[in-house]
Amino acid sequence: MSDTRTCEQCGAVFAPRREHARFCSTSCRIAWNRERAGGLGVEVTALDWTSAAMCDVLEWLGQAGERDRSQAFAVIGEAVWWVTIVDATLMRYHVEAYEAVMATRSPAERRLTEGIFGGLRFVRNQMGYYVDQAEFIKPGDGCIMAWSWRPMPEPAVALLPPRGQAWEMARYQAYEAHLAGHTMEEVFGPAAAFLKQVSERAAPLAAAAEPNANIRAV
């Protein structure tokens, strides 16, 4: 992970403030999106299938049998994967809708939403590679959505570059603040509700823009 990147629109070298930043400024990001409006068909498809998959796995999470803990752990891992994939898809292809919905939230709600996604990215990056998924989860006696996330020790980040260390520690701190000690429902519920709002806002805008892109291409 590098401490600097090249803007995909203007070519300027910049220091990213977000982990997945691709542009040096908002104007470059908007210009890049507008110039590539003809590819919106791919974006709509990506939004459709990732959102559908997320909804399916969250429904499965609510129905999975708690007696089969290995299955329950696997379903939670799938839910983490799909929620973070949908979040990344919306940020990549529908950032204006994403930011518009985020702007409707109070500062406290925004911190909670961003913290939940940061914590889930920490789980995704660690689960199955550095930490067994069962170590993250504290099973309970009730349904899986009432199970909770365990506090975790700090990750080893010494081999990462300085900015990479800062991002991984930020994700870890988000996990400790917004996931550890909280139930699956308290984490997946708000995350799914936010992503659903963004999807509903993004889908008609993308669909409306696609025919215009086709007209320009003729």
- Domain assignment of residue 211, yes or no: no
Q: What pLDDT was estimated at residue 51? A: 66
Residues in the chain: 218
Asked if 94 and 9 sit in the same domain, the reply is no
**Which distant-in-sequence residues (6+ apart) come within 8 Å of 210 by Cβ?**
40, 41, 44
Q: Is residue 170 a contact partner of residue 134, using CB atoms and an 8 Å limit?
A: no
Q: For 71-95, give one letter per residue: b (16+ CB within 10 A) or e.
A: ebbebbbbbbbbbbbbbebbeebbb
| Helix H or strand E segment including 25 | none
pTM for this entry: 0.73
Q: What pLDDT was estimated at residue 95? A: 86
- Domain assignment of residue 213, yes or no: no
What is the count of structural domains for the chain? Answer: 2
Q: What pLDDT was estimated at residue 181? A: 97
How far is Cα 143 from Cα 154, in angstroms, rounded to an integer? 29
Asked if 199 and 105 sit in the same domain, the reply is yes
Asked if 31 and 54 sit in the same domain, the reply is no
- Domain assignment of residue 64, yes or no: yes
Asked if 15 and 120 sit in the same domain, the reply is no
Q: Is residue 149 a contact partner of residue 76, using CB atoms and an 8 Å limit?
A: no
- Domain assignment of residue 92, yes or no: yes
Asked if 75 and 122 sit in the same domain, the reply is yes
Chain centre distance of CA 28 = 22
Q: What pLDDT was estimated at residue 102? A: 96
Asked if 160 and 70 sit in the same domain, the reply is yes
Asked if 11 and 70 sit in the same domain, the reply is no
Q: Work out the angle between the directed axes of helices 40-63 and 184-217 (0-180°, nearest 10).
A: 160
Asked if 145 and 185 sit in the same domain, the reply is yes
Asked if 16 and 49 sit in the same domain, the reply is no
Check the CA dihedral 33-36-37-40 and report its sign.
Answer: negative
Asked if 4 and 51 sit in the same domain, the reply is no
**Of 18, 12, 186, 15, residue with least CA distance to 99:** 18
- Domain assignment of residue 212, yes or no: no
Per-residue pLDDT of the chain (218 residues; tens, 9 = 90+): 456 788 888 888 887 766 667 778 767 766 666 565 444 444 445 556 566 666 666 776 766 555 677 778 888 888 898 889 889 888 888 888 999 999 999 999 999 999 999 999 999 988 866 788 889 999 987 788 889 999 999 998 888 888 889 989 999 999 999 999 999 999 999 998 999 899 888 877 655 555 444 433 33
- Domain assignment of residue 31, yes or no: yes
Q: What pLDDT was estimated at residue 171? A: 95
Asked if 27 and 78 sit in the same domain, the reply is no
| Helix H or strand E segment including 148 | strand 148-149
Parent domain of 30: 1-35
Asked if 130 and 31 sit in the same domain, the reply is no
- Domain assignment of residue 176, yes or no: yes
Residue labelled with tokens 């086709």: 214
- Domain assignment of residue 107, yes or no: yes
